[in-house]
Amino acid sequence: MAKYSHTICINAQKACPMYDWNDLRFFLELSRRGRLVSAARKLHVDHTTVSRRIAALEHELNVRLFDKSPRGYQLTDAGLRLLPHAEQMEARSNQLYQDISGKDARLSGTVRLSAPEGLGAQIIAHHMGQFRQMHPDIELELMAESRRASLSKREADIAITLARPTAGRVIAWKLCDYRLRLYGAKSYLDQHAPISTIEDLNSHDFISYIDDLIQLPELRFLEQIVKDPHVVFRSTNVLAQYNAALDGIGLSIIHCFMADQDSRLSPVLPTKIYIDREYWLVVHEDLRHVARVDAVCRFLTGLLKDQENRMIGSI
């Protein structure tokens, strides 16, 4: 592909230089992968070439674009300002190729998705084969954890959240409703006092989150059901809570899309105890129309629509 020169002014104290578009390819890949070796492998070059091209770009722009840490290369504020411009230029270059050549430009590249761990592990990960068939050249990175990822700092390209964001340069839409219920293993229920009313729960054991590590207010729901519950096990990890419930040590509030599929668990007072929540898809407005990001957004939107009945539960 021919080399193109573009001008982007990052530091207003220095006249905007002319530079090679190819330098931005190295910048984009390192920003996505965070490590020289990984970026080099994707670009089919040596890691020293990536380092050299980044250094040249920083010299021409008179800024530092990355900070190096034990976690890899992190974008600086200047790098974060450059990123949407580079993404747009890449998208326009792909569109130009498709329009002029008359060929379909295959969607490719890396997209990082932040999603709640239960949804990520139990729903999204189980449909990666379908996604790969649709988009074999898109590498999807899934951050499945119960914390907020910053889209403005580009910790992720897309986030699935438990509430609609109220600030930031983002675009968001509701994916679906989902429901949680109180469940117990049959082994636990058989060995403890029967539960006929909510008051009966006061004599039972529970599994929950670690209070001072809960970052999301939407996860504080056990105290809404039982006043001063007797918690015998706590974890920040949804799957750890799920497995502890299976082991019969206590009752746990679990997503219906997880527990309804497991015959070892039974819902407790299912018509009286349930919690409804929402999943929202959030993307930074600078990335909304980047082709690979749009492809992932469309896939997730369709997937959660198809899973609508499972998300809300069978009872």
Q: What is the pLDDT of residue 101?
A: 61
**Would you say domain 5-101 falls under CATH 3.30.70.100?**
no
Lowest mean pLDDT among 154-163, 211-220, 247-256: 211-220
Domain with CATH 3.40.190.290 in the chain: 109-315
**For position 286, what pLDDT does the model report?**
81
Position 13 pLDDT exceeds 80: no
User: Band of the pLDDT at 3, cuts 50, 70, 90?
Assistant: very low
User: What percentage of residues in the chain have a pLDDT greater than 70?
Assistant: 88
Residue 287 in tokens = 């990335």
Mean pLDDT value of segment 107-123: 91
The residues near 105 (Cβ < 8 Å, ≥ 6 apart) are: 94, 95, 97, 98, 291
pLDDT value for 153:
79
Which CATH number is 109-315's, of 3.20.20.80, 2.60.40.10, 3.40.47.10, 3.40.190.290? 3.40.190.290
Which pLDDT value is given to residue 97? 64
Q: Are 158 and 282 in contact (CB under 8 A)?
A: yes
Question: Rounded mean pLDDT of 104-126?
Answer: 87
Residue 261 reports pLDDT greater than 80:
yes
Q: Find the angle CA(265)-CA(267)-CA(269) to the nearest 5 degrees.
A: 155
Q: What is the pLDDT of residue 244?
A: 97
265-267 and 251-255 beta bridge pairing? unpaired
Higher pLDDT, 288 or 76: 76
User: What pLDDT is attached to residue 96?
Assistant: 72
* Mean pLDDT rounded to a whole number for the chain: 86
> What's the pLDDT score for residue 20?
67
Reported as type and span, the H/E element at residue 298 is helix 291-306
**25-67 pLDDT, tens per residue?**
899 989 988 899 989 988 889 999 999 999 999 988 899 999 9
Q: CA angle, corner 109, sides to 89 and 38, nearest 5?
A: 110
- Between CA 181 and CA 225 the distance in angstroms is 11
Could you tell me where in the chain the CATH 1.10.10.10 domains are found? 5-101
- Residue of 220, 229, 23, 154 whose CA lies nearest to 8: 23
Q: What is the pLDDT of residue 7?
A: 44
